[in-house]
């Protein structure tokens, strides 16, 4: 593939998002195993990270393939919408990334491979059907995005209740963020026949629903502290930052459910999610 096309494919991957999915897998393993995560070895940890990165990247590429007409309205600078890469070339990128993700997971065992395959199929189902279904599609994205946590459980082969709380927090936050993204995409989604919540219910009601999911995630955040599953000094400071971001964005999007506000809000919440992953990572490494 020529360098120009390769750069376009990399842009389709949304590297920052895919890097964070890979990080989420490692964080999940640290949560489950603590400092014993080193017992997995660099090789298995690398394969686990690569699985998250490549499966996420494949989903991101397919998302642009499915959304090419929407992006011509909402984001005409995207590689496919701008013509920097053809649809056929993008499909090739998708299948290469999916193969790399599943191949990375295969040496880790049957259950990790099944979870990885589930993640890929969820992404395919969303991009080819779920996107236009509205809220069911939002749920599919939240499930796929939070899948690194059950994937970590499959790799580690043990269950840790903290990770179930973190899984729920990430799921709820992503679900709220997807609704906010739909507020930003109303114009293009309406032309494409997408039955998103903002189109069916209006931006204001949808903003309230998104805020409810954000606040539900905030409400879950004290549970690891209450249960005594984390070191308070390691867990609390960064989680408070995340909670403040989510509360602030909940208030902001309800008061101003405009496209401009939604575009800014989804970026801030993504930053909050990254900070949350770092908090989970530190808490896992420090222990109780």
Domain assignments of the chain as residue spans, ordered by start: 1-159, 160-288
Residues 174-201 have a mean pLDDT of 88
Find out whether 12 and 93 touch, Cβ atoms under 8 Å: yes
In the prediction, which pLDDT does 283 show?
87
Q: Indicate whether 172 pLDDT > 90.
A: yes
**Candidate ranges 26-30, 41-45, 87-91; pick with highest mean pLDDT:** 41-45
Residue closest to 263 by CA, chosen among 202, 188, 182, 193:
182
In the prediction, which pLDDT does 1 show?
61
Residues 19-31 have a mean pLDDT of 86
Predicted TM-score (pTM) of this structure? 0.83
- pLDDT bucket at 224, cuts 50 / 70 / 90: very high
Q: Which CATH architecture has domain 1-159?
A: Orthogonal Bundle (1.10)
Percent of the chain clearing pLDDT 70 (strictly above): 98
Task: Say how far apart CA 221 and CA 38 lie, in whole Å.
Answer: 27
Q: What topology is assigned to 160-288 in CATH? A: 1.20.120
Residue 4: C-alpha distances to residues 58, 83, 97, 184, 195 (Å): 19, 12, 18, 30, 35
Task: Say how far apart CA 258 and CA 114 lie, in whole Å.
Answer: 40
Residue 77: C-alpha distances to residues 12, 64, 67, 73, 261 (Å): 11, 12, 13, 10, 20
């Amino acid at each position: 593939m020529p360098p120009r096309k390769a750069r376009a494919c990399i842009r389709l991957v949304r590297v920052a998002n895919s890097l964070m999915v890979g990080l989420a897998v490692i964080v999940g393993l640290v949560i489950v195993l603590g400092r014993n995560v080193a017992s997995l070895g660099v090789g298995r940890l690398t394969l686990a990270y690569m699985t998250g990165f490549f499966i996420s990247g494949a989903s991101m590429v397919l998302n642009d393939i499915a959304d090419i007409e929407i992006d011509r309205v909402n984001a005409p600078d995207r590689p496919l919408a701008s013509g920097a890469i053809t649809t056929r070339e993008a499909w090739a990128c998708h299948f290469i990334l999916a193969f790399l993700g599943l191949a990375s997971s295969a040496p880790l065992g049957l259950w990790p491979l099944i979870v990885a395959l589930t993640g890929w199929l969820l992404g395919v189902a969303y991009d080819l059907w779920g996107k236009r279904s509205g809220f069911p599609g939002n749920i599919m994205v939240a499930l796929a995005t939070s899948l690194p946590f059950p994937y970590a459980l499959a790799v580690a082969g043990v269950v840790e209740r903290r990770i179930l709380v973190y899984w729920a927090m990430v799921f709820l936050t992503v679900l709220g963020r997807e609704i906010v993204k739909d507020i930003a995409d109303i114009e293009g989604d309406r032309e494409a026949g997408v039955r998103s919540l903002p189109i069916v219910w209006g931006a204001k009601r949808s903003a309230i629903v998104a805020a409810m999911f954000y606040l539900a995630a905030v409400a879950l955040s004290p549970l690891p502290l209450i249960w005594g599953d984390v070191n308070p000094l390691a867990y609390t400071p960064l989680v408070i930052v995340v909670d403040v971001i989510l509360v602030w964005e909940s208030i902001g999007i309800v008061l101003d459910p405009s496209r401009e506000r939604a575009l800014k809000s989804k970026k801030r919440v993504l930053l909050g999610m990254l900070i949350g992953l770092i908090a989970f990572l530190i808490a896992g490494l420090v222990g109780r």
